[in-house]
Amino acid sequence: MTYLLVILNPLIWVFNSSFKQNREIIASPWSLPESITLANYINAWTGANVSSYFVNSLYISVCSAIATLLLGTATAYAITRMKFPRVSKLISSALMLALLIPAGSLLVPLYILLRNLYIYNTPLALVLPYITFGLPITVFIVAAFLKSVPAELEEAGIMDGLSAYGLFGRVIVPITMPTLITVFMLNFLSNWNEFMMANLFLAKEKLRTLPVAMVAFYDQLNMNYGSLCAAIMFSVIPVILIYMMLQNRIIEGLTTGSIKG
């Protein structure tokens, strides 16, 4: 319980301060607000252009997470079920090597590549790297689960006339849904909170994501700490809501692989 309070304390303080005026925050930072008002949220959403940054982050994070999930699941299915052991081992080794390479060491080559491809300062400048960096862990998590799925289920599907695509879409995907939701959440959170690439690859202000915009909020909000706290809550609320809606599936996806087989 104490550990939980320590973890939640900063979030509770920011949430409480988001309803206060500057004088209240400075005079009594831990007290409850004198009156509940959404003025700070309205000011942050419209005055600081949080709405635009929020949509940018949501669009890029969701698109990247979905694409990573589709490619990662298909790759995991191929290397665990298809009959080409040498190629599967080569792909697995390449993905393992990718996990060992620090993302920071690739920023300069990525920048040059994106400029040469003429996608610098476009959403693709983040979507493609996010997919690339998310694929290895996605493949390994899904593949670990698929190895515990009985082959008899697919044999029954083949007897019913299903093709490889039919097996994947009508047998594998429904069975692995808890794991897929877990992987989607992991990738979404990683994309949503990522700062370095978003700061380097999107120079246009209108394309900024929330983590990058938060750095500029201090000046934009004219030292309005209440509105700054409200802007922070806008970056936290979607993650909390998604986790609350999917928490059972996420926990199931994290534990299913350990109890099967």
Q: What is the mean pLDDT of residues 7-28?
A: 87
- Whether residue 118 has pLDDT greater than 60: yes
Using CA atoms in the order 214, 219, 222, 228, what is the torsion angle rounded to 10 degrees? Answer: 10
Q: What is the mean pLDDT of residues 155-176?
A: 80
Q: What is the mean pLDDT of residues 127-146?
A: 91
Share in percent of the chain as helix, strand, coil (round to 5): 80, 0, 20
Percent of the chain predicted with pLDDT > 70: 91
Q: Which fold has domain 36-259?
A: MetI-like fold (1.10.3720)
Sequence ranges of the domains in the chain: 36-259
What is the model's pLDDT at position 128? Answer: 95
Its sign, for the CA torsion 215, 217, 218, 224, is negative
Q: Using the 8-state DSSP alphabet, how is residue 46 labeled?
A: I
Lowest-confidence pick of 17-26, 197-206, 240-249: 240-249
What is the model's pLDDT at position 34? Answer: 84
Pair 197, 126: CB distance under 8 Å? yes
What is the model's pLDDT at position 64? Answer: 96
What is the model's pLDDT at position 151? Answer: 77
What is the model's pLDDT at position 179? Answer: 86
Measure the CA–CA gap between 156 and 137, rounded to whole angstroms: 30
Per-residue pLDDT band for 146 (boundaries 50, 70, 90) equals: confident
Q: What is the pTM of this model?
A: 0.84
- Whether residue 124 has pLDDT greater than 80: yes
Lowest-confidence pick of 58-62, 212-216, 220-224: 220-224
Per-residue pLDDT band for 261 (boundaries 50, 70, 90) equals: very low
What is the model's pLDDT at position 259? Answer: 44
Percent of the chain predicted with pLDDT > 90: 28
* DSSP codes of every residue in 155-176: HHHHHTT--HHHHIIIIIHHHT
Pair 165, 74: CB distance under 8 Å? no
What is the model's pLDDT at position 242? Answer: 79
Lowest-confidence pick of 21-30, 96-105, 149-158, 181-190: 149-158
Calculate helix-pair angle for 50-81, 124-146, nearest 10 degrees.
Answer: 40
Q: What is the mean pLDDT of residues 196-207?
A: 90
- Give the residue, 119 or 243, on which the prediction is more confident: 119
Pair 111, 201: CB distance under 8 Å? yes
Measure the CA–CA gap between 125 and 200, rounded to whole angstroms: 10
